[in-house]
Amino acid sequence: MIKVNQDYLKLPGSYLFSDIAAKVRAFQEANPEKEVLRLGIGDVTLPLCPTVIKAMHSAVDEMGVQETFRGYAPDLGYSFLRETIVDRVYKPIHAEIYADEIFISDGAKSDSGNIQEIFSADARIAVCDPVYPVYVDTNVMSGRTGEYDPATGLWSRVIYMPCTKENGFQPEFPAETPDVIYLCFPNNPTGAAISRDALAGWVEYAIQNKAVIIYDAAYEAYISEPDVPHSIFEIPGARNCAIEIRSFSKNAGFTGTRLGYTVIPKDIKDEDGNMLHSLWARRHGTKFNGAPYIIQRAGEAVFSEEGQRETGEQIAYYMNNAKVILEGLRSAGYSVSGGVNAPYIWMETPDGMSSWDFFDLLLHEAGVVGTPGCGFGPSGEGYFRLTAFGSYENTVQAVERIKAL
């Protein structure tokens, strides 16, 4: 008998981005002469920078020579990369993080989706609403989320922290006490950043409530303001309660080459003294056979002086697009936020339109594609996400078209 995992069947309906693709396809078939501009892209578009490519080439050559060939990478990652991360990411911000607390992986999507495995089946999770869908869906797959209410779009055992215009898109301490708190800053989808003081408040809250914070810092490189923390480990006490997830995807364009890492300090323990670090090490050892040597060398090159300069230029290019969108829409009277410490601009739909109605209007009247905010959670209804990952020319043109609506 085929017995499928019933928890997977609880996942509601179709996937946001396939719905969008279907609508765009239908529009293009009906209007072949119209050029559609995409401001919904959640993927980088600039090529990998020269320093990264050079490192990759030489690692490829090493793999073809007997003396320097390498088989399986160590489960936790090569020490050259883990040491580099300590030196270049954590030491400059005076964060006490050790190389053996860093787990190299194939990216932040896998890590942020898999990390829930080390928590008990009855652990209560708290998420921001709107949210990066991976956090909730992976907990649904593990049977941790209770029942889905199609009327509200909420799961009965998930603790939601609405992030709306009213609270400046900042999560507030929830009424119920969670065991695991997912935070993503700078945020996808809202583009909001968290201040150092606010994050310190969350660390204190987690310690008081014996909760663990899973901090997704995938957009750390886009931070431009000084009071925005680059890592949760800038905050005293975070070693006792926080796991940080990082990615080379948005920072350095590795979406197609895959590289990320998760930091689990050895100080996070349950009541019996079990380290989360040990559980994740066990999980990695059992289910993961390491990120490719070639890609880990490429990742190391990102931290070189040239690598930092070249990736910095790419981020500046995207953030200039963000500025074009933000200022263009603001001057046209739209209520917009984000776009300063993140490549995402979060706009309120005009005249209280629903997210999907605005999507249709924008597609049909302006030929511009964005992402309906409701796809990220019920509190995203009435909002719309635009991204800065397109070309400068297309971004300028798309903004002109929206202004002309």
Ligand X SMILES: *Cc1c(COP(=O)(O)O)cnc(C)c1O
List of residues contacting ligand X (CB under 6 A): 107-109, 112, 132, 184, 188, 216, 218, 247, 249-250, 255, 260
Tell me whether residue 108 or residue 366 sits nearer to ligand X (CB atom).
Answer: 108
Tell me whether residue 180 or residue 402 sits nearer to ligand X (CB atom).
Answer: 180
Min CB(108)–ligand X separation in Å: 4
**Contact between residue 235 and residue 203 where contact means Cβ atoms under 8 Å apart:** yes
Tell me whether residue 179 or residue 244 sits nearer to ligand X (CB atom).
Answer: 244
**Contact between residue 330 and residue 399 where contact means Cβ atoms under 8 Å apart:** no
Min CB(62)–ligand X separation in Å: 25
Q: Which residues, in sequence order, are bridge partners of residue 337?
A: 346
**Residues 114-137 as b or e (16 or more Cβ within 10 Å = b):** bbbebbeeebbbbbbbbbbbbbbb
**Contact between residue 334 and residue 347 where contact means Cβ atoms under 8 Å apart:** yes
Distances (CA, A) of 232 to 304, 312, 337: 23, 22, 23
Distances (CA, A) of 58 to 72, 81, 134, 295, 301: 18, 16, 35, 11, 11
Min CB(190)–ligand X separation in Å: 11
**Distance in angstroms (rounded) separating the CA atoms of residues 201 and 195:** 10
Min CB(327)–ligand X separation in Å: 24
Min CB(397)–ligand X separation in Å: 25
Min CB(184)–ligand X separation in Å: 5
**Distance in angstroms (rounded) separating the CA atoms of residues 347 and 329:** 9
Tell me whether residue 132 or residue 293 sits nearer to ligand X (CB atom).
Answer: 132
Tell me whether residue 75 or residue 216 sits nearer to ligand X (CB atom).
Answer: 216
